[in-house]
């Protein structure tokens, strides 16, 4: 595979390169892409140096796959240009997620919606990804009616500047801020911009994306998203109302056997998921499983995952792996012929 990573120098782009290496994705030619100020610099991948190229040059190279993590405006402008030359784009921004003509994919949940014709595929929001991985097996068995979720999201979800703000505040240093308020020893019930309905854009992403990924508009979702002074992963308190009754032991078994899920649920031994447990891992960790004693057929659970890995880089690469396994990434005869001519 000829693979482009767009936004290769950012937090998520760097993590994408790490995950591609760890999972031994079959790269025959790596094309790192970044902003104009980075063009010509080099990055290291598997003991080799690669020169960063511009978006224009990357399109001209006609990669088989382009994995984007460069912001919505870049994706809107450039993903179609890559698609026009036969490249399959997997985009980590919010640009295409709610486009009715684009698939929004978490491989453990809905990879089967993908076809060879899907040339721009959306990677969901990090907080949505980990939640739906845990919800999918439960929905299949009990049918979810409503989800109430509160998130506790790592500063890494904002980017390098947010990490630097937290570290500067912790060390008593001044510096540029990513947030309107102090984040160390504090939390901000405010992720992304506020909308007219009083919710933030992050909260509405969770509402709308969950329905699309699960393929069920009847699921009610309401969310409160909170930024906390944590690195390592996002945590979520999830309250799930079902149409059918459940047994907790059956719920644990379903989750233990679900792809991508690890159950850490032993209160007697103080065993429950934490961001430090999830850091640098690809699984979604679930614990604190218990009935909601205030309402019938309702479950409480705690869901934790590394937002840079499963919440972004790993999910995108799992999509690419699925496409490859299905044979959807094979070059078309026309594209292969063009490549042969250009060589």
Active site residues: 126, 234
Spatial distance between the Cα atoms of 170 and 330, rounded to a whole number of angstroms: 50
Q: Which residues lie below 8 Å from residue 207, measured CB to CB, with a gap of 6+?
A: 199, 221, 222, 223
**C-alpha torsion sign, points 92, 192, 304, 238:** negative
Write the CA distances from 20 to 5, 13, 38, 178, 277, integer angstroms. 10, 11, 21, 29, 22
Beta strands in the chain (DSSP E): 2-6, 29-33, 42-45, 48-51, 65-68, 88-91, 103-104, 120-122, 144-153, 220-227, 234-242, 261-263, 284-291, 298-305
Phi and psi at 284, nearest 5°, equal -105, 120
**C-alpha torsion sign, points 245, 247, 250, 251:** positive
Give the residue among 96, 98, 107 at the shortest CA–CA distance from 136. 107
CB count in 10 Å sphere of residue 280: 12
- Residue 325 is classified by DSSP as H
Spatial distance between the Cα atoms of 157 and 134, rounded to a whole number of angstroms: 20
Phi and psi at 263, nearest 5°, equal -95, 120
Spatial distance between the Cα atoms of 48 and 257, rounded to a whole number of angstroms: 39
Phi and psi at 243, nearest 5°, equal -80, -30
Where would I find the H helices in 104-247? 107-110, 126-142, 160-171, 201-214
């Amino acid at each position: 595979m000829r693979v482009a990573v767009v936004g290769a120098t950012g937090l998520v782009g760097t993590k994408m390169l790490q995950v591609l290496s760890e999972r031994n994705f079959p790269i025959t030619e790596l094309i790192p892409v970044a902003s104009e100020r980075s063009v010509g610099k080099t990055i290291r991948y598997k003991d080799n140096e690669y020169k960063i190229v511009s978006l224009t040059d990357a399109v001209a190279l006609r990669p088989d796959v382009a994995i984007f993590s460069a912001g919505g405006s870049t994706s809107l402008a450039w993903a179609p240009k890559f698609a026009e030359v036969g490249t399959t784009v997997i985009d980590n921004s919010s640009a295409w997620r709610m486009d009715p003509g684009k698939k929004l994919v978490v491989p453990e949940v809905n990879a089967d919606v993908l076809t060879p014709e899907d040339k721009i595929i959306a990677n969901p929001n990090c907080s949505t990804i980990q939640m739906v991985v845990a919800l999918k097996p439960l929905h299949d068995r009990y049918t979810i009616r409503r989800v109430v979720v509160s998130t506790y999201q790592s500063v890494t979800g904002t980017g390098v500047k947010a990490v630097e703000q937290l570290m500067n505040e912790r060390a008593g240093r001044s510096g540029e801020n990513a947030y309107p308020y102090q984040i160390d020893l504090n939390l901000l019930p405010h992720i992304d911009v506020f909308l007219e309905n009083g919710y933030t854009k992050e909260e509405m992403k969770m509402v709308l994306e969950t329905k699309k990924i699960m393929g069920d508009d009847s699921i009610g979702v309401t969310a409160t998203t909170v930024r906390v002074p944590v690195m390592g992963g996002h945590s979520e308190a999830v309250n799930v109302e079902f149409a059918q009754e459940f047994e907790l032991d059956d719920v644990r078994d379903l989750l233990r056997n679900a792809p991508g899920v690890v159950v850490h649920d032993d209160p007697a031994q103080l065993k429950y998921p934490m961001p430090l447990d999830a850091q640098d891992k690809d699984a979604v960790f679930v614990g604190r499983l218990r009935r909601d004693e205030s309402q019938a057929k309702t479950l409480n659970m705690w869901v934790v995952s590394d937002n840079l890995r499963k919440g972004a880089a790993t999910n995108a690469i799992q999509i690419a792996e699925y496409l490859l396994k299905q044979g959807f990434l094979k070059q078309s005869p026309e594209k292969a012929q063009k490549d042969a001519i250009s060589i």
